Structure 1
Amino acid sequence: MTGLVLVLNAGSSSIKFTVFAAAPEGPEPIASGQIEGIGAAPHFFARDAAWQVLVDRRWDGEDAPRHHAAALAVLIGWLDDSLGERPIIAIGHRVVHGGPDLAAPVLVDAAILAQIEALVPLAPLHQPHNLAGIRAAAEAFPGVKQIACFDTAFHRAKPWVADTFALPQRFYAQGIRRYGFHGLSYEYIAASLAAEDPALGAGRLVVAHLGNGASLCAIAGGRCVDTSMSFTALDGVPMGTRSGQIDPGVLLHLMQAESMDTDALTRLLYHESGLKGLSGVSQDVREIEAAGTPEAEGALAHFAYRVRREIAALAAAMGGLDALVFTAGIGENARALRGQICEGLGFLGIAVDAERNRANAPEITAPGATVRVLIRRTDEERMIARHALALLRDTVCAG
């Protein structure tokens, strides 16, 4: 199978993309980038596989793309000019929510599009933009297969006790469950470790996907056992601007004592909390570390404490731990914070070699520690491209 796979990740004000060439050994990236600031001050940039800049364009006039369809049109025009005669044979989309039923990648048709749209109330800040990306791509590439890959799908394997809230069961039947997110990242890490070290891949892992959005996942034998996010991408550990886990009574109090409505609570919990809210500085760990204020130090200490607590809880869910894996922006790069997280986890067999941690080495386990501590780069886009190519092959074989 030859040709190109375009992977799109449509957010509220951006479209991230990666172009892969279909190769016998798997998809190979040839270009990636994003159009950010859609609707405000758009910025389009892209790099090739060697990280050389291919395009860097900003708009400030009437010709600026003001919505996702216009931004995608700009991207398509650039692809047409830059990629020559190689055809795009599939377009893979990251879709945040698959609900209880969409538990694997699917070819998008009218029925699937309706199912995805019906899940908008479960992910109102993400799902509409995912849908906009799919519709714009379908219009721009008529006849090209569109594949939806769901961030919730990997977690559908976890047991009922980890999936339900302690509410009357009619709510579970209505779809109010602990879905979990970042599933494409966890799937990629699990598959990569299994290929690298089959024994480790079959073992008990806690993967810490720590970035502006942050969550952790317990994986045993390559399957999800439990995860920190639940009904929405708001639950679990604190994040860049999101609160993470919070007592529901706090929300009731804010509604009653502060007269906060759902819009005000949404702004508070999604945009004004987390590291940004605690530090009073920024959601960026680098800026918080540089600030050095008591509030900044407290924000980092709280983040480390909550992540450390979640690691121990997820290890308990599996009855033990063989490896802790850090990934995503903070997990891969924040050396001091990573070390701070691991402090106090000696009872689990976790200890970090300070020099290797400072060097961002692929393995930072201290000598004598019984649990391996690894740093791995995640690649959700490559995971989507793999799924897209696999579905195309299945479709060809079925035909």
Structure 2
Amino acid sequence: MHDARALIDMGEDTVQKLARRGYKLDLSALESLQSRRNHSIHTADELRAESKQVAKQVGETARSGGDADELKERARRLKEEIRDLETAQEDLDRELRDFLLQIPNIPLDAAPEGDSEDFAVELRKVGTPPAFDFAAKDHVDLGEAMGILDFARATKLSGPRFSVARGIGAALERALATLFLDIHTRRHDYTEYSVPYLVTAQTMTGTGQLPKFEEDLFKTGVAERDLYLVPTAEVPLTNLFAEEIIAPKDLPLALTAHTPCFRSEAGSYGRDTRGILRQHQFSKVEMVRICAAEESQTEMALMVGHAEACLKELGLAYRVVELAAGDMGFSAQLTHDVEVWLPSQGTYREISSVSDCGTFQARRAGIRTRGADGKTTPVATLNGSGLPIGRTLAALLEQNQQADGSVALPEALVPYLGFRRIAADGAPQE
């Protein structure tokens, strides 16, 4: 969430920067709200001072034996006026907060112009996409032919956009999650967490999912209170430190977790409906970093490298792009996507989106640190996939498929699985 005074002080510069991401800021409406709120606070303070003075006069008059009835009536009216102003101030506070919560983060100047993936700037490619001398299959045909993925039974259980992994398929999912967690905790010094999958509205608000994107969430009533299924572990991991002051010596913090993720995918009908690329429930290892505000870009470079390390370990071809200002997530000020090669589509597809959120989420969630001057300031928060299990599995199957319908597995997974190849009939092979 933004500081209203800071937005107003930036003036038209704020309007132009937010316009880069397709948001039209009504600056005059914001100024009016802030002005009315400030006037309400100032007036209430004046009346409290007057009330205190009148109360003093009542006491003095009573002690001198005079008639204090008129003063007492004035004191009563002042209390009513103050109470009414406090109610109005609460309403204005709520209205201003609601207004600010709808404003996305301001993109950094480094973010390219544009409003879609077509405007992303390629930063680098790593690895060579495989060239096949046979008709390559997609992960759906491969998985179903081997008997390790079952979409029909998943649809029977839950409807479209769900999947069932069976046998080696389930083992592969477990192996990938464990490999990624091992990479992040053992090599990159992340602390692993096991977090709740149901969180409050306040928690969702802290990272920017609410109030603007409620239609994208799954909401459930549990024990007479509304809770939301997490769309990503970013939500509980970041909010672990909500309303806390983190000592500078403890920064940066690096957190990771493997969780299911639940998304309604509202508005995405017709996109990636085949297979496991876009589902209502999927599994993901998430990375979150919390640091001093001035260190966010350095931390972002680290995080992108950590996501890349997982793909390099698996020998998968990928590229890194910088997203355009109008194509970034609501809370991001800069985003780098890591995209893996999918032979069935003949293109790179996003597998990790690493975002520098600056102080945006920290302001909403109340996460601060204390400076040398003793004053508290918001920290910076960053998040990124490291990596999603389903999309990684899809890329793994497609990039490593063989002419006989089998799939060769990277050496990095052998210690977790005990075999190096999946036969065309789904049997493990040395």
Q: For this structure pair, what is the TM-score category when the shorter chain's length is used for normalisation?
A: under 0.3
Q: What TM-score do you get using the length of structure 1 for normalisation?
A: 0.24
The structure with the larger Rg is 2
Q: What TM-score do you get using the length of structure 2 for normalisation?
A: 0.23
Asked which structure has the greater RCO (Cα within 8 Å, sep 6+), the reply is 2
